[in-house]
Amino acid sequence: MKTSVIGFPRVGANRELKFASEKYFAGKITDSELQNTAKELRKTAWLLQKDAGIDYISSNDFSFYDNMLDTSFMLGVIPQRYKKLCLSKLDTFFAMARGYQSEKGDVTALPMKKWFNTNYHYIVPEFDDSVIVQLDDTKAREEYNEAKSYGVQTKVDVIGPYTFLKLSHFNGNRQLKDYISDVASAYKQLLSNAKEWGAEWIQLDEPALVLDMTSDDKELFDALYKTILDKKTIKVLLQTYFGDVRDFYKELLSFAFDGIGLDFVEGKQSLELLNNGDRPDCSLFAGVLCGKNIWKNNYEKTSALLDKIQAKWKGELVLSTSCSLLHVPYTTKNEQKLDQNILKYFAFAEEKLSELSEIASKNPAAFEKNSQLFKAERVAPNSEIAAKVANLKKDDFIRKPAFEEREAIQKKEFNLPLFPTTTIGSFPQTQDVRANRSGFKKGTVSKEDYIKFNQNKIAECIALQEEIGLDVLVHGEFERNDMVEYFGENLDGYIFTQNAWVQSYGTRCVKPPVVWGDVSRRNPITVEWSKFAQSCADKNSKKPVKGMLTGPVTILNWSFPREDISLKESAYQIALAIREEVLDLEKAGIRIIQIDEAALKEKLPLRKADWHSEYLDWAIPAFNLVHSGCKPQTQIHTHMCYSEFIPIIKNIDEMDADVITFEASRSNLEILKALKDNNFRTEVGPGVYDIHSPRVPSVEEIVNAVEKMKKYVPESKLWINPDCGLKTRGETETVASLKNLVEAARQTRK
């Protein structure tokens, strides 16, 4: 049986792409030096897959930032404001991803959203009326030939036209339907060109097919692919992932695809769909090896699934990953500190290549070793924690009194001005902050010195915010490496890796902790830092300082979860642990507590019919459980970012927080109308500027954003804040941006 990998991690085993890109942004290396790093990373990835015996290896799955942005460039979908900058192709690419500010011009970045149900973010393509679709397949051609020069024959991987158009924004007079013909012609030309390069296969990724489809969607797909596939001379693999294609399976069989890739991990109905027919002349690329988790595959179960698939599909069967391996760490080889009794249960991207080969070849020794691994008990259950979850009652999830009564109490309690200003939590993580934290972990910095350093930083941060004039302060989070990992380090049931980095967006990589066993709080986590920060404020402004926590759903969604218990049970375990922290903060005199749920929407099923039964019916209560025991005077904030929240806006209101801040700057404040239409009761702070861009927003720009917000959000409920935490930004731009934010609030109050 042949094997296929949809895509491979591009940042490198040691995040080489991240560091090279950041050096390029800082002007420390040239364009050619950055390109050389990229070439080495691609070469390593291709040869790893070839040496593992993978038959279908992808080229063009690499990107300096995001494949959707690459596709925009391939089709010439570059808005006029970026063309006017007259930058190089690479710098225009980065301007669209990160924003740009110099004497040549000042532009914000394109919107950024979550890629389906993952923590990866894509850059949203934008069609304005200046766009003329024209194929430029230079990148795909060069990377295909590059792989060939190393003796690696690849399938050319490109985001498909249906998914590209469905995820795009159309900001001019011309709308989606006006571009169908030109986009289809460009892809048709791409197929012809790829054949001329010598490619045998082209992989068109169409994950949007696993979403609910309307008759218009089906007509769009039909219009695109009837043109694209007409008289094709190259084999075409239609690749889907993150779910099943229940709305379109029969129709897919009628198209002249040479291969169809289906996800049998997240695609709940994929196996059942095969009962509706097959194509003996078409290869089925069966995604049976999970591309999103880090646990070793159970060979016996996977082989049994393959047998069932083989019994239904009469054509060739190719063993594949369920999605790109972009969503898992690179290799376990860099994990030097983890016990082998733990590490033996893990398979990162490189190890999954071996798993594919062993399953495909049905290697007896490998199967026996795998069988023994799954016969042993990995971790013993904690009966006390299980009992706490089992004994939860309905009242444990309800905060009293009702929101309106709490809101009135809190208005009197805090006496904040109209349009109160705050930040999301973190302040710039400078080199000395990282060095202090690293030294403490390595033992070269004593606990006393570590605490003293952070206290000095907190005091400086409080003083800075008071000087700037912010109304609700934060302590800066100088003790934290990551908003999930930091909490996981203080929870029993979690384990941590050294180098299991996963790309979140662009140069941003995260190192998700692993839920190993039952979860409970070991000791207070943030209380002392928050108390110290509030004591600093009490000496001068007496302004409230927010206690900063990460919510249970985000902690779970940004971890690698267990597979032996349900997500619901894991979420409730974490919620009980964070609830203890919330109540301890309240006892310590912290009057505002922010419980971030940045990843709330991440695990939302892609099909609306499954939203409540599979997710919302436990995700929203998990958040409610965390804060339901608080006094009415305690103001609970939450924060969300970079997801399409409009469809679940009513569910967000049911979280019963007092204030919610969320990303809105990159999405042109689209969520505001939904807030008004749904009579959203929670006080809100839509982000007024994009912290993922180095540019400094002007006072006028922020005032204009707030004026727009006022049309949709009652003035008494509107907060002013950045769209996310500030830890990735520089100090100079942060101070300048916040001063402009506060001045904009003052002008708006007038």
Question: Which amino acid is present at 363?
Answer: N
Can you give the three-state secondary structure of 37-94, one letter per residue? HHHHHHHHHHHHHHHCCCCEEEECCCCCCCHHHHHHHHHCCCCHHHHCCCCCHHHHHH
CB 109 within 8 A of CB 692: yes
Q: How confident is the model at residue 738 (pLDDT cuts 50, 70, 90)?
A: very high
List the structure tokens of 359: 């399953």
To which residue do tokens 């436990």 refer?
618
List the structure tokens of 544: 């409230």
Task: Provide the pLDDT for residue 724.
Answer: 87
Distance CA 542, CA 545 (A): 9
Task: Provide the pLDDT for residue 662.
Answer: 84
pLDDT digits (tens, 9 = 90+) for 580-611: 999 999 999 999 999 999 888 888 999 999 99
pLDDT digits (tens, 9 = 90+) for 451-507: 999 999 999 999 999 999 999 999 999 999 888 889 999 999 999 999 999 999 999
Q: How confident is the model at residue 668 (pLDDT cuts 50, 70, 90)?
A: low
Task: Provide the pLDDT for residue 362.
Answer: 93
Write down the pTM of the prediction: 0.88
Distance CA 378, CA 401 (A): 44
List the structure tokens of 540: 């001068």
Please give the positions annotated as active site.
Answer: 692
Q: How far is CA 196 from CA 55, 60, 167, 182, 191, in A?
A: 21, 16, 30, 21, 9
User: Strand, coil or helix: what is 411?
Assistant: helix
pLDDT digits (tens, 9 = 90+) for 351-394: 999 999 999 999 999 999 999 999 988 999 999 999 999 999 99
In this structure, is the dihedral angle defined by the CA atoms of residues 334, 337, 343 and 344, taken in order, positive or negative?
positive
Q: How confident is the model at residue 694 (pLDDT cuts 50, 70, 90)?
A: confident
DSSP result, 302-329: HHHHHHHHHHH--S-EEEEESS-GGGS-
Task: Provide the pLDDT for residue 669.
Answer: 63
Count of positions (residues) in the chain: 750
CB 651 within 8 A of CB 644: no
* Adjacent-strand bridge partners of 531: none
Whether pLDDT at 324 is above 60: yes
* Adjacent-strand bridge partners of 662: 640, 686
DSSP state of 377: -
Strand boundaries in 551-671, DSSP class E:
592-596, 635-640, 659-662
